[in-house]
Amino acid sequence: MPHMIFVEPDGTERRVDAPVGLSVLEIAHKHGIDLEGACEGSLACATCHVIVDPSWAPKLAEPTEDEEDMLDLAFGLEKTSRLGCQIVMTDALDGLTVRLPRKS
């Protein structure tokens, strides 16, 4: 099974199993990682904002216009910011690393 790494705002890394077909948001919830996802993955908020490790960003599909619009609402936006609900795990993403932004 693929895995991924969540980097907490304090720098703590959490390596977790990441089942193929689940979104980064779903994987976070499965492992008790503090990633809100207020709209439950319906692309109606930016509370599942993550910052993709720069080495992984080119391996992801480009964000849709709707995702980019929602990202404009995210706090602490960075060049590789994405919404966790829009990144779906595949075997090719084994080892994906994302950082959780600071809340304020």
User: Closest Cα to residue 49, out of 37, 33, 39, 58?
Assistant: 37
Task: Kindly state the average pLDDT of the residues 17-28.
Answer: 98
CATH number for the domain that contains residue 77: 3.10.20.30
Q: In the predicted model, is pLDDT for residue 104 greater than 80? A: no
Domain, as residue range, for 43: 3-99
In a domain, 88, yes or no: yes
Q: In the predicted model, is pLDDT for residue 44 greater than 80? A: yes
Number of domains making up the chain: 1
pLDDT, one tens digit per residue, over 51-87 is: 999 999 999 999 999 999 999 999 899 999 999 999 9
In a domain, 104, yes or no: no
User: Closest Cα to residue 82, out of 42, 32, 48?
Assistant: 48
The token pair at 40 is 């439950």
Alpha-carbon dihedral of residues 41, 42, 46, 48, nearest 10 degrees?
0
